[in-house]
Amino acid sequence: MNAIEMKNLTKIYGHNYALRDFTLNIETGRVYGLIGPNGAGKTTAMSVLATLLAPDGGSATVGGHDVVREPAAVRRMIGYMPDFFGVYDGLKANEYLDFYAAAYRIPVSRRPRLIQDLLELVNLSDKTDTYVDFLSRGMKQRLALARCLVHDPAVLILDEPASGLDPRARAEMKEVIRQLRRMSKTILISSHILPELAEMCDNIAIMEQGRLVAHGTVEEVTAARQGSRVFKIEVADKLEELLDYLHKRPDIVSVDSENGWAKVALAGNKAAQGRLLRDIMNEGWQVLEFAEMKGNLEDAFMAVTGEVSY
Ligand SMILES: Nc1ncnc2c1ncn2[C@@H]1O[C@H](COP(=O)(O)OP(=O)(O)OP(=O)(O)O)[C@@H](O)[C@H]1O
């Protein structure tokens, strides 16, 4: 079952297509990354899903509800975190969440427990009585995420939740998103921070100029661009000889050595992967690690969107 369906979505500003026949389905319970360069249409797609913007063509549903015809039902299902949001001066973190809980008509008696749970979830329990203004950017982002959760939505639409955060704050945000995934939420996240998305997401969609240019699992999108998958191979010794050996194999697209291990792009499927491992072991190397790497999503993004030429 798909939590989100977008079919031929089109949005035009003047002569500029912000979305052009954009079609994408997101299965329930998935964490889906939406990647694209500035102006690709990520915010536009998310605004349509959040019922804030009417499309000029096509249709979209969330939980089976049409975003144009049943906006109230869609809003009940989603938590939407925009890329830019204001916070209210003079409110403490718990008051801020109380304000939103009231807006969602959560009974007063339920709110203290709910707010405590939400602050715990986003790792801000010790900031309950801190003025929102005094929180760091990362904390504010996590509080904004907590705000999206007050009505316990099944679907989260997060527009660049990690933007402008330092590595530690990003890691904390990532952890919260992992936690939400464990709670079986369907999550759509846009980002420019590609390696981070690769770690967090099950699937990714790459957009450019309002169009979908690639989608699939992180591994599929990466492989589609290269016709290969990348592996880390660590051996007990004789690394130089291994690199030479790998260079000569026809199924190896490229070989690099990195921090004492080999990074190889292998053409072919799982059977090819099995053959490679067997051959290396048969040749006498003691293999300490043989693992597929997800980290080259950034390469895939650059190649697909043409931001960098190879
Ligand atoms: N209100 C608007 N009026 C006119 N053009 C707009 C408007 N909103 C967006 N656009 C245009 O639509 C296109 C898509 O914009 P959008 O904000 O959806 O992209 P994005 O992928 O979210 O970019 P970013 O990563 O910079 O946030 C861009 O060309 C943008 O200039």
- pLDDT tens figures, 90-113: 899 999 999 999 999 999 999 999
pLDDT digits (tens, 9 = 90+) for 213-245: 878 887 777 666 556 778 899 999 999 999 999
Asked if 291 and 219 count as a contact pair (C-beta separation under 8 A), the reply is: no
Contacts (Cβ under 8 Å, ≥6 apart) of 46: 34, 80, 157, 159, 188, 190
Q: Report the separation in Å between the CA atom of 222 and the middle of ligand 1, taken as the mean of its atom positions.
A: 26
Q: What are the structure tokens assigned to 69, written together? A: 């015809």
Residue 51 near ligand 1, beta carbon < 6 Å = no
Q: How confident is the model at residue 170 (pLDDT cuts 50, 70, 90)?
A: confident
d(CA 69, CA 231): 47
Contacts (Cβ under 8 Å, ≥6 apart) of 49: 4, 6, 60, 62, 67, 74, 78, 80, 157, 188
| CA geometry: angle 32, 148, 97, nearest 5 deg | 155
Q: What does the pLDDT average to over 12-36?
A: 94
pLDDT digits (tens, 9 = 90+) for 40-96: 899 999 999 999 999 999 999 999 999 999 999 999 999 999 987 676 778 999 999
Phi-psi region of 150 (alpha: psi -120 to 50; beta: other; left: phi over 0): alpha
pLDDT at 307: 46
ipTM: 0.95
Residue 42 near ligand 1, beta carbon < 6 Å = yes
Q: Report the separation in Å between the CA atom of 269 and the middle of ligand 1, taken as the mean of its atom positions.
A: 38
Could you give phi then psi for residue 9, rounded to 5 degrees? Answer: -65, 135
d(CA 279, CA 2): 42
Beta strand pairing call for 2-13 and 16-27: antiparallel
Residue 34 near ligand 1, beta carbon < 6 Å = no
Q: What does the pLDDT average to over 253-274?
A: 84
Asked if 77 and 91 count as a contact pair (C-beta separation under 8 A), the reply is: no
Position 298 pLDDT exceeds 70: no
Q: What residue ranges of the chain are covered by domains with CATH 3.40.50.300?
A: 2-223
Q: Domain 226-294 carries which CATH code?
A: 3.30.70.100
Angle between helices 167-182 and 137-148 (to 10 degrees): 20
Q: What residue ranges of the chain are covered by domains with CATH 3.30.70.100?
A: 226-294
Asked if 236 and 285 count as a contact pair (C-beta separation under 8 A), the reply is: yes
- Length of the chain equals 310
Residue type, 102: A
Residue 186 near ligand 1, beta carbon < 6 Å = no
pLDDT at 308: 35
pLDDT digits (tens, 9 = 90+) for 126-168: 999 999 999 988 899 999 999 999 999 999 999 998 887 888 8
Position 279 pLDDT exceeds 90: yes
**Best substitution site from 43, 158, 160 to test ligand 1's pocket, by max atoms within 8 Å of Cβ?**
43
pLDDT at 200: 81
The structure's pTM equals 0.77
Topology of domain 2-223, per CATH?
Rossmann fold (3.40.50)
Residue with tokens 């939505």: 153
